[in-house]
Amino acid sequence: MKIMKFGGTSVGSVDSIKKVKQIVEAEREPVIVVVSALGGITDQLIRTAVMATRGDIAYESEFNSMARRHEEMIQQVIPSGSKKRMLEKSIHALLDELKDIYQGLYLLKDISSNMEDTVVSYGERLSSLIVGALIEEAEVFDARSFMKTERKHNKHLLDSELSNQLIRETFRELPKVSVVPGFISSDKNTGRVTNLGRGGSDYTAAVIAAVLEASVLEIWTDVDGFMTADPKVISTAYAIEELSYVEAMELCNFGAKVVYPPTIYPAFHENIPILIKNTFNPKAQGTIIRAQLSDNTKPIKGISSINDTALITVQGLGMVGVIGVNHRIFRTLAQNGISVFLVSQASSENSTSIGVRNVDADLACEVLNAEFAKEIATGEINNVVAEKGLATVAIVGENMKHTPGIAGKLFGTLGRNGINVIACAQGASETNISFVVDATWLRKTLNVIHDSFFLSEYQVLNLFICGVGTVGGSLIEQIRQQREKLMMERGLKLNVVGVASGHYAVFDRDGIDLNNYRELLKQGGESNLDRLKEEVIGMNIFNSVFVDCTASDDVASLYKDFLNHNISVVAANKVAASSQYENYKELKQTARRRGVKFLFETNVGAGLPIINTINDLINSGDKILRIEAVVSGTLNFIFNTISDEIKLSDTIRLAKEKGYSEPDPRIDLSGKDVIRKLVILAREAGYPIEQDDVEKNLFIPQELFEGSLDDFWAKVPALDADFEERRQRLVAENKRWRFVARLDEGKASVSLQEVNQWHPFYNLEGSNNIILLTTERYKEYPMMIQGYGAGASVTAAGVFADIMSIANI
Just list the catalytic residues: 677
Binding mask 109-148 for ligand ASP (x = CB under 6 A): --------------x-------------------------
Task: Determine if 670 is a binding residue for ligand ADP (CB under 6 A).
Answer: no
- Under rule CB under 6 A, which residues in 701-730 are in contact with ligand ASP? none
Per CB under 6 A, contacts with ligand ASP among 163-192 are: 182-183
Helix (H) / strand (E) containing 66: helix 59-77
Q: Is 200 in the site for ligand ADP (CB under 6 A)?
A: no
CB of 196 to ligand ASP, least distance (A): 8
Q: Does 262 bind ligand ADP (CB under 6 A)?
A: no
* 184/638 with CB nearer ligand ASP: 184
Measured distance CA(445)–CA(305) in Å, rounded: 10
The stretch near Mg ion (CB under 5 A) out of 162-170, 199-207, 239-247, 499-507 is 199-207
Paired with 492 in beta bridges are 459
State the first-to-last Cα distance of the chain, in angstroms, to the nearest integer: 54
| Of 256-264, 462-470, 603-611, 704-712: span binding ligand ADP (CB under 6 A) | 256-264
> From the list 2, 4, 8, 672, which residue makes contact with ligand ADP (rule: CB under 6 A)?
8
Cβ(388)–Cβ(308) below 8 Å = no
CA–CA separation, 558 and 579 (whole Å): 13
Q: Of ligand ASP, Mg ion, ligand ADP, none, which one does residue 83 interact with (CB within 5 to 8 Å by kind)? A: none
Q: How far is the CB of 120 from ligand ASP (least distance, A)?
A: 7
Binding residue for ligand ADP, selected from 16, 36, 53, 786, defined by CB under 6 A: 36
Q: Compute the distance between CA of residue 240 and CA of residue 450 in angstroms, rounded to an integer.
A: 13
Question: Which of ligand ADP, Mg ion, ligand ASP, none sits in contact with 9, Cβ below 5 to 8 A by type?
Answer: ligand ADP
DSSP code of residue 79: P
Query: Positive or negative CA dihedral for 662, 666, 667, 673?
Result: positive
C-beta neighbour count of 295 within 10 angstroms: 5
Q: Are 312 and 364 in contact (CB under 8 A)?
A: yes
Task: Give the separation between CA 267 and CA 185, rounded to whole angstroms.
Answer: 19
Contact 352, 329 (CB under 8 A): yes
Give CA–CA dist 260/264, Å, rounded.
8
Separation of alpha carbons 758 and 771, rounded Å: 16
Q: What secondary structure letter does DSSP report for 28?
A: -
Minimum distance, C-beta of residue 139 to Mg ion, in the bound complex (Å): 24
Asked if 607 and 597 count as a contact pair (C-beta separation under 8 A), the reply is: no
Q: Given candidates 4, 111, 256, 638, which one binds ligand ADP under the rule CB under 6 A?
A: 256
User: CA torsion sign, 523 to 528 to 529 to 535?
Assistant: negative
Of the ranges 43-51, 107-115, 252-260, 425-433, which one interacts with ligand ADP (CB under 6 A)? 252-260
- If one asks whether residue 37 binds ligand ASP (CB under 6 A), the answer comes out as yes
Cβ closer to ligand ADP: 230 or 250?
230
123 binding partner (options ligand ASP, Mg ion, ligand ADP, none; Cβ < 5 to 8 Å by kind): ligand ASP
Separation CA 128–CA 456 (nearest Å): 44
Is 199 one of the binding residues for ligand ASP (CB under 6 A)? yes
Angstrom distance (rounded) from CA 63 to CA 59: 6
10 versus 447: smaller Cβ distance to ligand ASP: 10
Query: Should residue 8 be labelled a site residue for ligand ASP when binding is judged by CB under 6 A?
Result: yes
Distance CA 769, CA 749 (A): 17
> Which of the ranges 86-94, 200-208, 644-652, 766-774 carries the binding residues for ligand ASP, by CB under 6 A?
200-208
Which of 163-171, 194-202, 356-364, 493-501 is the region at the interface with ligand ASP (rule: CB under 6 A)?
A: 194-202
- Which of 39, 132, 181, 199 binds Mg ion (CB under 5 A)? It is 199
Q: Give residue number: closest CB to ligand ADP.
A: 7
What are residue 391's DSSP bridge partners?
A: 437
Is 123 a binding residue for Mg ion by CB under 5 A? The answer is no
Count of residues that bind Mg ion according to CB under 5 A = 2
Distance CA 629, CA 786 (A): 10
Q: Tell the smallest beta-carbon distance from residue 256 to ligand ADP (Å).
A: 4
| 199 touches ligand ADP (CB under 6 A) | yes
Residue 231 interacting entry, from ligand ADP, Mg ion, ligand ASP, none, C-beta within 5 to 8 Å by type: ligand ADP
What is the amino acid identity at position 67?
Answer: A
Binding partner selected for residue 232 from ligand ASP, Mg ion, ligand ADP, none, CB under the kind-specific 5 to 8 Å limit: ligand ADP
Under the criterion CB under 6 A, does residue 221 sit at the interface with ligand ADP? yes
Using the rule CB under 6 A, give the single segment among 197-205, 215-223, 375-383, 573-581 that binds ligand ASP.
Answer: 197-205
In DSSP terms, 309 is beta-bridged to 390
d(CA 458, CA 492): 5
36 binds ligand ASP (CB under 6 A): yes
Task: State whether residue 494 is helix, strand or coil.
Answer: strand
Rounded to a whole number of angstroms, the minimum distance from the CB of residue 196 to Mg ion is 12
Residue partners of 335: CB distance under 8 A and separation at least 6: 367
Query: x/- contact string, 758-777, with ligand ASP (CB under 6 A)?
Result: --------------------
Which of 537-562 are b and which e, b meaning 16 or more Cβ less than 10 Å from the residue's Cβ? bebbbbbbbbbbbbbeeebbebbbeb
Which residues, 6 or more positions from 636, have their beta carbon under 8 angstroms from its beta carbon? 630, 738, 739, 764, 766, 767, 768, 769, 789
Among 109, 257, 269, 779, binds ligand ADP (CB under 6 A): 257
CA angle 497, 411, 395 (to 5 degrees): 90
Interaction of residue 498 with ligand ASP, rule CB under 6 A: no
Which residues of this protein are in contact with ligand ADP, per CB under 6 A?
A: 7-10, 36, 199, 221-223, 226-227, 229-232, 256-258, 302
